[in-house]
Amino acid sequence: MSTVSHPSDDDRAAAEHQLTVTHWGTYRVTTDNGLLTAVEPVAWDRQPSKIGLSLPGAVQGNSRVRLPAVRLGYLQGKPDNREGRGKEPFVEVSWEQALTLVASELERVKTEHGNQAIYGGSYGWSSAGRFHHAQSQLHRFLNQFGGYTASTNTYSIAAGERVLPHILGDLDELQRQHTHWAELAQHCELFVAIGGLPLRNAQVNGGGANDHALGYWLQRLSDNGCQFINVSPVRNDLAGVPDAKWLAIRPGSDTALLLAICQVLIEEDLFQHDFVARYTVGFERYAAYLRGDQQGEAKTPEWAAPITGLEATAIRQLARQMAKKKTLINMAWSVQRARQGEQAYWALVAVTALLGQIGTPGGGIGFGYASTNLAGADRRRFSGPRMPAGDNAVDTPIPVARIADMLLHPGDAYEFDGKTRTYPDIRLVYWAGGNTFHHHQDLNRLIEGWRRPETVVVHEQYWTAQAKFADIVLPATTSLEREDIGSASNDGFMIAMRQHLPPFAEARDDYAIFSLLADKLGFGSRFTEGRDVRGWLENIYQASRPRAEAEGIALPDFATFWAQGKLEYARPSEPQILLKAFRDNPDAAPLSTPSGKIELFSATVAAWGYEEAPGHAYWHAPEQAAQQKQKRRWPLHLLSSQPRTRLHSQYDHGLVSQQSKIHGREPLWMHPQDAAARDIRDGEIVKVFNDRGELLAGVILTPDILPGVVQISTGAWYDPLDPQQARSLDKHGNPNVLTTDTGSSRLGQGCSAQTCFVDIERFDLPLPEITAWQPPQFVKWSP
Ligand SMILES: Nc1nc2c(c(=O)[nH]1)N[C@H]1C(S)=C(S)[C@@H](COP(=O)(O)OP(=O)(O)OC[C@H]3O[C@@H](n4cnc5c(=O)[nH]c(N)nc54)[C@H](O)[C@@H]3O)O[C@H]1N2
Ligand SMILES: Nc1nc2c(c(=O)[nH]1)N[C@H]1C(S)=C(S)[C@@H](COP(=O)(O)OP(=O)(O)OC[C@H]3O[C@@H](n4cnc5c(=O)[nH]c(N)nc54)[C@H](O)[C@@H]3O)O[C@H]1N2
Ligand SMILES: [Mo]
């Protein structure tokens, strides 16, 4: 069993407890008189993220929630006051008044409508510490209160999470077992990166990213002669490899490309017969579909060329090249955040199965190398301590991205992964640690749904739109204002996070808030188990021991860890190769699919009779036709990608994000050809619009994006010009006023933000002031 390395002199900062952990890195913190004055990257991080530089200034700035606050109309108990959400001023109240209000409302809803009427899905990344993980705290609290309607899967990768168990295995498991970069550096000859390998996205890892190594590994692979192909509408998605070949594919067409590659591999007999026979089921059914036997055209490169925008010869050549070389094909998560996203993953599984390199050191399959800092890291898989949430007595979670459907259509039936379910009738929404007004699609539709429940409670650090659209806002501390443990899967470190700052104004940590509420509701001691925060840190640390040992890590006792301030686990002694055990012996180590093999055809999925998912990787022509129709009206395909200057909406108000804005608006990438046709010049402000909404953005012209495609980052705080008006212009550039709120398909019901069509025109009116980061208006009121 490997032991934990002991800190050397270099780790003085850790021992002196100067560290803080964020999802994008560990930093050394300097404070002066209760103020945060500086953060600096730690020595063991090879390529630290600049995002941390946003903390000073932002953490103790004007955007913080200072006191508990209640929306005026709600506090007054006006009839039909729900329409006032996002429009009315707030009244600052005492903690006692706010908590009494929340507790009595929880009781009322539970008594009158049952626990199912409470929505606690509360999606969101919150902060990095494992104990003060807002979502876990909320779930534990609501579970002990009798349960709540939860959400399942992620915005990130729901379509993939749902399709893969039927055809390859559990995605979470696969993600942690990705072939180490060091193996690829030695063996991989061709790395096909669908959606690229953007360095910006590998800045983050849920729970912490201590060592940013993607840049280093891309260089090593290149040095060893690995050839990279960037299959993406955007050239700089593989900026880490300057000589990468760029195949500028149309968004949403990757499935067609991969089907055509499969067709070539079969027609030219370039596929691995032995692998297919031993490790897969359903080859004949899939091959017949590719040949166009029952219906439809053969899925040839000539068929795929007009769909993808690539040359048929280029597609054929790519297939031959893949068959000849040790080839890894990776797909960014973004590719499945689209209509029919499930099929892109299925087609990826099919191509790599035909190539027969799955389970080998230099080839095979990848899901999201570079989508975070996790995949491929040669670090222990141990994720560290975690806060147990307990069991939920209400067992009817909704697919996470169907929240607006749920709020708008209580009682309606919907299809999900082979089952028919019914949306619950939600009366109270409780959120801690997420920003729906950042993350959900078609915000104007969301707002309509958001005004249906009777009560919305939000814990927030900052006056985000999420807080401004709540009834009761409870101010939460940041990580810098409390103690915690920083730790993440495949990261290799555990960090003692000390308290560096006093709580801002009257902010409290989520645990303290729920403890007080649980007290009022009669289960205080069950919730706290009599522990203070330090007691809990020790408790969850101890509870993580068996999982640590299973991963070959012997944790020191808690006091030693806390005194050292930092653990770095020895790297795994064995190189990791994804699905190697399955390849070595498929009988002894079968997949978790129904057949135990890779399912090129899935009888399970076929049995549901979904026309858009007939049981094998599939190109759904009616969906394509529907998109083409939209495109005739809205000719530009809008990609909303992850921001390099922040994590989602977090620290949009910080220095790093602010410096990237153009006249205060979010930058948007556009091809000069599309700009010329609209008389738009570099650096100008434009209006981006479709039938769902409109926003302002600042244009960056670049030839490095496919004409007909524009790209903007997510995360600019939603900032309606006139909150009193429906569908008001967003002054700031949140793409979700434009995106479509339909599930990826009935299979995954995932977020389909990337399927979005818009038009753009120059904005010549005077620029409205950005108010997103300002607190709402406050008024005084007492009964
Ligand atoms: N158009 C489009 N939309 C997308 C995507 C896309 O690609 N395109 N991507 C989607 C994806 S993959 C994701 S994961 C989501 C991300 O969506 P979210 O995870 O909801 O986004 P964040 O901005 O990280 O929101 C976290 C919020 O929690 C608050 N917070 C932080 N720490 C604490 C704490 O300790 N306590 C409390 N109470 N609050 C805290 C922060 O201030 C912040 O407002 O967005 C999705 N939305
Ligand atoms: N700095 C930073 N890093 C992050 C995050 C963040 O907020 N900030 N968020 C994290 C989270 S929660 C997640 S889920 C991951 C998401 O990770 P991803 O989903 O991989 O990230 P994206 O930036 O959305 O997309 C990557 C690239 O895919 C390309 N792309 C989009 N659509 C298509 C398509 O149809 N076909 C092809 N071939 N390419 C396409 C776009 O050009 C885009 O630049 O990122 C994580 N990393
Ligand atoms: Mo995500």
686 and 751: one domain? yes
Pairing of strands 227-231, 245-247: parallel
pLDDT score of 533 more than 80 = yes
pLDDT at 536 over 90: yes
Catalytic residue among 24, 27, 123, 773: 123
- Please report the atom of ligand 2 found closest to the CA of residue 249: 38
- Of 125, 346, 536, 541, which residue is the catalytic one? 125
Instruction: Output the pLDDT for position 8.
Output: 52
Q: Residue 587 burial by CB count (10 A; 0-12/13-18/19+): exposed, middle or buried? A: exposed
Q: Which domain holds residue 10?
A: 6-58
- Which residue is closest in CA terms to ligand 2's atom 47? 201
CB of 333 within 6 A of ligand 2: the answer is: yes
Tell me, yes or no, whether 363 and 445 share the same domain: no
The band of 16, judged by pLDDT with boundaries at 50, 70 and 90, is: confident
Structure tokens at 264: 């070539």
User: Ligand 2: which residue has its CA nearest to atom 24?
Assistant: 641
Q: What is the 3-state secondary structure (H, E, C) of 703-745?
A: CCECCCEEEEECCCCCCECCCCCCCCCECCCCHHHCCCCCCCC
Query: Closest residue (by CA) to atom 18 of ligand 1?
Result: 124
Q: Model confidence at 11, in pLDDT bands (50, 70, 90)? A: low
Q: 3: pLDDT confidence band, cut at 50, 70 and 90?
A: very low
- Condensed to tens digits (0 to 9), the pLDDT of residues 697-740 reads 999 999 999 999 999 999 999 999 999 999 999 999 999 999 99
Shared-domain flag, residues 286 and 319: yes
Nearest CA to ligand 1 atom 16: 439
Residue 6: predicted pLDDT: 42
Does the C-beta of 641 come closer than 6 Å to ligand 2?
yes
- 430 and 505 fall within a common domain: yes
User: Taken in order 762, 766, 771, 773, is the CA torsion positive or negative?
Assistant: positive
Q: Taking a C-beta distance cutoff of 8 angstroms, is the pair 194, 231 a contact?
A: yes
End-to-end distance of the chain based on CA atoms, in angstroms?
65
pLDDT > 90: what percent of the chain?
A: 97
Q: Tell me, what's the pLDDT at 268?
A: 98
| Residue 359: inside a domain | yes
574 within a domain of the structure (yes/no): no
Is 541 catalytic? The answer is: no
pLDDT given for residue 295 in this prediction: 79
pLDDT in tens, 172-193: 999 999 999 999 999 999 999 9
SS3 call for 687: strand
Evaluate whether 243 touches 223 at the Cβ level (below 8 Å).
Answer: no
Neighbours of 729 (CB within 10 A): 20
Backbone angles phi and psi of 504, in degrees to 5: -70, 130
Q: How many structural domains is the chain composed of?
A: 4
Same domain flag for 547 and 660: no
Band of the pLDDT at 783, cuts 50, 70, 90? confident
343 shares its domain with 459: no
Q: How far is the CA of 110 from the centre of ligand 2 (A)?
A: 39
Q: Which ligand is nearest to the CA of 231?
A: 2
Compute the distance from residue 157 Cα to the ligand 3 centre, in Å. Answer: 7
Residue 424 makes CB contacts below 8 A (sequence gap 6+) with 116, 117, 119, 149, 396, 398, 406, 410
Decide: 147 and 157 in contact? Cβ < 8 Å: no
E strand residue ranges, 24-83: 25-32, 35-41, 69-71
- Kindly indicate the confidence band of residue 291, based on its pLDDT and cuts at 50, 70 and 90: very high
Residue 718 is among the residues annotated as catalytic for this protein: no
Ligand 1 within 6 A of 438 CB?
yes
434 lines ligand 1 (CB under 6 A): yes
Please state, in angstroms and rounded to a whole number, the distance separating the CA atoms of residues 24 and 39: 13
Q: Output the average pLDDT for the chain.
A: 96
Q: Closest Cα partner for 335 from 348, 322, 326?
A: 348
Per-residue pLDDT reduced to its tens digit, 640-673: 999 999 999 999 999 999 999 999 999 999 999 9
Closest residue by CA, ligand 1 atom 44: 435
**CATH code of 702's domain:** 2.40.40.20
Task: State the closest ligand 1 atom to the C-alpha of 132, by its place in the atom list counted from 1.
Answer: 35
Distances (CA, A) of 373 to 190, 378, 560: 21, 11, 28
d(CA 155, CA 62): 30
Residue 299 domain flag: yes
According to DSSP, residue 363 is labeled: -
Residues 722, 757 share a domain: yes
> Is 76 inside a domain boundary?
yes
Kindly give the distance from the C-alpha atom of residue 128 to the centroid of ligand 1, in angstroms, as a whole number.
12
Q: Residue 81: pLDDT above 90?
A: yes
Domain identity same for 553 and 470: yes
pLDDT (mean) for 581-588: 98
Ligand 1 pocket test: pick from 402, 714, 739, 755 the residue with the most ligand atoms within 8 Å of its Cβ. Answer: 714
For residues 726 and 628, membership in a common domain is answered with yes
What are the tokens at 601? Answer: 């055809």
> What is the share, in percent, of the chain residues with pLDDT greater than 70?
98
Domain contains 376: no
- Looking at the structure, do residues 189 and 337 belong to the same domain, yes or no? yes
Predicted local confidence at residue 296, as pLDDT: 85
Residue 200 alpha carbon, nearest atom of ligand 2: 1
Atom of ligand 1 nearest to the CA of 156: 12
Detail the DSSP E strand segments found in 480-538: 484-487, 493-497
Ligand found nearest the CA of 329: 2
Rounded-to-integer distance, Cα 522 and Cα 516, Å:
10
DSSP 489: T
> Tokens standing for 637?
């395909």
161, 329, 641: which to mutate for ligand 2, most atoms within 8 A of CB? 641
Shared domain check, 220 and 261? yes
Sheet holding 484-487, edge to edge: 484-487, 493-497, 566-569, 2-5, 553-554
If pLDDT is split at 50, 70 and 90, which confidence band does 17 have? confident
For 308-351, the pLDDT digits (tens) are: 999 999 999 999 999 999 999 999 999 999 999 999 999 999 99
Please name which ligand lies nearest the alpha carbon of 478: 1
What is the identity of the amino acid at 108?
Answer: R
Does ligand 2 come within 6 angstroms of the Cβ of 341?
Answer: no
Asked if residue 488 has pLDDT above 70, the reply is: yes
The answer to whether the CB of 371 is under 6 A from ligand 2 is yes
**pLDDT tens column, 457-482:** 999 999 999 999 999 999 999 999 99
- Tens digits of residue pLDDT in 50-61: 999 999 999 999
- Predicted pLDDT of residue 2: 40
Shared domain for 658 and 743, answered yes or no, is yes
Nearest protein CA to atom 40 of ligand 2, as residue? 195
Torsion (CA) 579, 582, 584, 588 in degrees, nearest 10: 150
Please work out whether the CB of residue 129 comes within 6 Å of at least one atom of ligand 1.
no
SS3 407: helix
Please give the pLDDT value at position 282: 98
Please give the model's pTM, rounded to 2 decimal places: 0.97
Specify if 579 maps to a domain: no
